[in-house]
Structure 1
Amino acid sequence: METSPQCVNNTASLSVFHETPLLSLSQDKISNDAHDKDTSPDKMYLGAREYYAEDGQVWTMSVVRKVQRQMLTEPTRCLEYLSVLGQPEFNRAATALILGRESIAIVENRADSIQVPGADAALFMAAQFLKQWFTITHPRPTTVYISEPCWESHTFAFHGAGFTDIRHYQYWDSERARLAIPQWLQDMENAPEHSIIVLHIAAHWPSATDPTPAEWKEIAEVMKRKNLFPFFFVTSLGLASGDLHKDAFPVRHFVTERFELFCAQSFSKNFGLYNQRVGSLTFVSRDNQSLVRIRSQLAAAAMSTWGNPPNMGAHIVVTILNNPAFFTEWQHSIRNMARRLMLTREKLSEELRTLGTPRPLNYISRQIGLYVFADFTDSEIEYLKKRRHIHLTSIGQINMSLINNQNLPYVARCINEAVQAAGEHPASAQATQPSLLAALPVSQILSLQ
């Protein structure tokens, strides 16, 4: 049967990508666009990802500036490619930072890290590795558990790697405004053996609330008994409590309990290197032989993904971590940043209490890290945006570093008004709880990217 010239021409005129589906913009991109288009001189965007100083400008640590100046004047500085796994000194320093220099895993030579372009890159690479090799050890389809609510990139990474059984464990109890520890433990008890559990620490996104050390021990006990695999995700070590050791406790405890584990770590927020994309993927294995095999596979994956990681940000991080004077100065900056965030939370909570805000929000003073999670309804978020020109993230998080002595009273008044307005229509407010407080289907997660 001959093909008509018309059919040939029609086919030739089509793009080879004509069946590519169009994904919708992420909700936070829409929030940014709404802020940009807002013509009010009073508009504010409180959902930014960077740490801002009291003057409202993105803050750069003095110790980071020192190292940057030092780099510019180094006569022997070389611009050659790094190793595919990154700087060896950086990898050792990143491993020691999260595990502790005296960690039994380091002493026994069964822990290492590779340098990656940010924590999401570590998440992506580890998900690919686990899909290929973890499932060989356990040939049935492996289940992945992600917190509810969760960072949307977690689901995206594991779905993209080919995992089909992705479930949620209950993390946040909206009714009681606290961690859902009993439900979380029960979800772990019900999980199939050898499931992968993604654990976001220092501080959990979006709830800004982490388990206590005692609760982490309970979680580890259940996971050990059920042979569950921990995958830690750390975005801002030190900024949760101001204490590096305290923030790293969950990972270190699991290591002492002889878990094998992965840990994706970002250095963007705790070093202020937002556009340098500095991260690490740390892995702890049962023995050195397994460690060598893991490293070889990750090297091959890195070679085929980005070839060589960037140098500058990693050089700044390793210089600070390996120089005692710089390290002390960096720790001092971390403590001051965390202290300011905690104090601002307390001030905001007290201001809302003084205003008589109808819905109790005093729990935000107990939260940690860069953000506050007030569990706003969609109607409250919409009120703040439309009536007071205060723009938040899609689920209403507030970057606490953007709250300062000048704008705190105004922000508190606006939040109080929004909660009061929603209280006048409780039925509609209840119906518009933020969508991310429920488990999102993969299709919706993909549309958020």
Structure 2
Amino acid sequence: MTSRFSVVKVGPPIEVFAVNKAYLDDTSDLKVNLSVGAYRTDEGKPWVLPVVRKTEKQLADDETLNHEYLPVLGLDACSSAATKMLLGADSSAFAQGRAFGVQTLSGTGALRVGAEFLLRQLKYTTFYYSSPTWGNYIAEQNLEPEGELELFQQNHHLLFTNAGFTEPRQYRYWNAETRSLDLDGFLEDLRAAPKDSVIILHACAHNPTGCDPTHEQWTQIADVIEERQLFPFFDSAYQGFASGDLEKDAWAVRYFADRGFELLCAQSFAKNFGLYNERVGNLTMVVKDVGDLLAVKSQLTLIVRGMYSNPPNHGGRIVATVLNNPQLLEEWKECVRTMANRVLDMRRGLKERLERLGTPGTWDHIVTQIGMFSYTGLSPRQVEHLTQKYHIYLLKSGRINMCGLTTKNIDYVAKAIHETVVEISENTINKL
């Protein structure tokens, strides 16, 4: 009897994990990993935040805690604190009870739950995501031309189409010529969007470009979204981690909420708490009418119940404990500043070294970008050369994780980039 599963085709690998595996398999002493989006210390090691370790010990010693199921919408102490952290203590939406949170399986889970809610309850079918946005798959060699490759690289595309959205579209975001935000293209695409389109916006530290709108530009973006009656859905994975300042990194979301928008925001605590494998997230929802909350929460409950039933406790309990304890909160803020400052140091160091070497091209974007990632402008051919000759691993787009740089390898990486750019001169240098 023929196997029922013989019709299943091998899917393309997830790029970041494929690149990481290649790095792990490399036996060279020179190898450098700039691919995986996770914080690393100057020794190149994962870091358990001291406040997280301290909190875990406290929780382990608390014999009143158990492993019973959480409510379907999660631990209220976690989601409420996360929502307040996002919107601010003086948020009118929070104070009036028009904002609430749902504990989810990190930011990815929040995006998926939110997408399913918007599709099922509001019947929205069109969504826009930035070009580029954070990646997912690399295409196999037979998936050319590049347009097909693009389709497999966008995780927002995958999340929303899997949730049932039928009209995926992109808005222009990155200007390769200026290595900055393509505001004109962005606004033009928003103006052409049909009413009730969901617009996915990166709250801060845009992944992968590290290029964020200014406050003035956010105001223009909000104007068009309001004018065209579009729906904003923020993706906030780096609050605090981007600049070291929780308030600064939440500015865009708070501006939209204070302006009166109804919105969703997916929050992740993977990066800023270092809780990558605990999958701690929150879906914040802001509505205009408190009277809508009962029905909204009931429908979110049904979505979560049919998807993963309820979220895990451990990570959520850590976040709740820290955010609701003034002393632990200050300790956490100091940890966040430590991570953000190390990234800023590596940005300055790489730019200075490239300029000192006389590397062709302009490298100001290394320091004007923000957050964990830098869109270097290196071409796929240059990326391949860096990997094959210098054992430096990064994504084909040229995106690097600045946390992969250390005081011990930054000179080697800068020299390798310099020699690669000189040897493989592209007309599109610093473009993508």
**Residues 220-270 of structure 1: CA deviation (Å, up to 9, x unaligned):** 111111111000001121111111111001111001111111100100110
Shift of 1:41: 2.1
Corresponding residue number in structure 2 for 1:107? 95
Q: Which residue of 2 aligns with 1:387?
A: 389
Tell me the distance in 1 between the aligned counterparts of 2:343 and 2:25: 29
Cα deviation code 1:370-421 (max 9, x no counterpart):
1121021011101100110111123222221221211111110001111111
Helix, strand or coil at the partner of 1:169: strand
Q: Which residue of 2 aligns with 1:119?
A: 107
Residue equivalent to 2:292? 290
Alignment partner of 1:146 is 2:144: no
| 1:87 corresponding residue in structure 2 | 75
**3-state DSSP class of the match of 1:301?**
helix
Contact 1:28 1:394 in 2 (8 A): no
Partners of 2:165 and 2:103 in 1: CA distance: 24
**Shift of residue 121 of structure 1?**
0.8
2:364 paired with 1:362: yes
Q: Deviations over 1:144-172 (max 9, x none)?
A: 11100112220001111222211110000
Does the 8 Å CA contact 2:83/2:284 hold for their aligned counterparts?
yes
What's the counterpart of residue 421 of structure 2? 419
Residues 120, 153 of structure 1: 8 Å contact kept: no
Q: Distance in 1 between matches of 2:129 and 2:19?
A: 25
Matched, 1:27 2:15: yes
Tell me the distance in 1 between the aligned counterparts of 2:339 and 2:49. Answer: 10
Structure 2 Cα separation of the partners of residues 407 and 223 of structure 1: 44
Measure how far apart 1:219 and its partner are: 0.6
Q: What SS is found at the alignment partner of 2:272?
A: helix
Q: Matches of 2:194 and 2:414 in 1, distance apart?
A: 45
Q: How does 1:258-407 map to 2 (within 5 A)?
A: 258-407=260-409
Larger radius of gyration: 1
Q: Supply the distance in 2 between the matched residues of 1:73 and 1:33 (Cα, whole angstroms).
A: 37
Identity of matched residues, %: 40
Match of 1:444 in 2: none
Pairwise CA distance, 1:185:
1.1
Describe the superposition over 1:57-92 as per-residue Cα deviations: whole angstroms up to 9, x where unpaired.
Answer: 111111111101101111212221111111111111
Q: Is the 8 A contact 1:202 1:239 kept in 2?
A: no
Q: Residue 115 of structure 2 aligns to which amino acid in structure 1?
A: A
Structure 2 contact 125–164 (Cα < 8 Å) conserved: no
User: Contact conserved, 1:42 with 1:389, CA < 8 A, in 2?
Assistant: yes
Task: Give, as a single letter, the amino acid of the residue that structure 1 aligns with 2:80.
Answer: R
- Asked if 1:75 corresponds to 2:63, the answer is yes
Deviation at 1:109, TM superposition (A): 1.2
| Contact 1:239/1:335 (8 A) holds in 2 | yes
Which residue of 1 is the match for residue 258 of structure 2?
A: 256
SS class of match (1:305): coil
Distance in 2 separating the partners of 1:78 and 1:38: 43
- The answer to whether the Cα contact below 8 Å between 1:68 and 1:316 also exists between their aligned partners in 2 is yes
Task: Compute the displacement of 1:336 (Å).
Answer: 2.1
Shift of 1:34: 2.4
TM-superposed deviation, 1:94: 1.0
Contact map agreement 2:32 2:404 (CA 8 A) in 1 = no
In the alignment, the residues of structure 1 paired with residue 22 and residue 275 of structure 2 have an alpha-carbon distance, to the nearest angstrom, of: 27
Task: Answer whether contact 2:16 2:36 (CA < 8 A) is retained.
Answer: no
Taking structure 2 as the reference length, the TM-score comes to 0.92
1:18 Cα offset (Å): 2.7
Aligned partner of 1:25: which letter? P
Mapped to 2, the partners of 1:31 and 1:59 lie a distance apart of: 21
- The one-letter code matched in structure 2 to 1:150 is T
Q: After TM superposition, give the deviation of residue 294 of structure 1 in Å.
A: 1.5
Q: Does 1:177 align with 2:160?
A: no
Counterpart secondary structure, 1:263? strand
Matching residue's letter, 2:66: C
Determine if contact 2:242/2:370 at 8 Å carries over to the other structure. Answer: yes
CA–CA distance in 2 between the matches of 1:65 and 1:403?
25
d(CA) in 1 for partners of 2:324, 2:106: 20
User: If the length of structure 1 is used for normalisation, what is the TM-score?
Assistant: 0.89
- How many angstroms does 1:22 deviate by? 2.4
Q: Any unmatched runs of 5+ in structure 1? A: 1-12, 136-140, 438-449
Residue 30 of structure 1 and its aligned partner are, at CA, apart by 2.8
3-state secondary structure, aligned to 1:283: strand
- AA aligned to 1:320 is V
C-alpha distance in 1 between matches for 2:235 and 2:343: 21
Q: Is the 8 A contact 1:234 1:263 kept in 2?
A: yes
- Which of 43, 54, 69 aligns to 1:66? It is 54
- 1: CA distance between counterparts of 2:421 and 2:396? 17
Distance 1:36 1:89 in 2: 39
- RMSD value over aligned CA atoms? 1.5
1:180 shift after superposition: 0.4
Question: Where does residue 204 of structure 1 map in the other structure?
Answer: 206
Contact 2:171 2:189 in 1 (8 A): yes
Cα deviation, residue 360, structure 1 = 1.4
Q: Aligned to 2:374, what secondary structure does the other structure show?
A: strand
Gaps of 5+ in 2: 135-153
Aligned length: 413
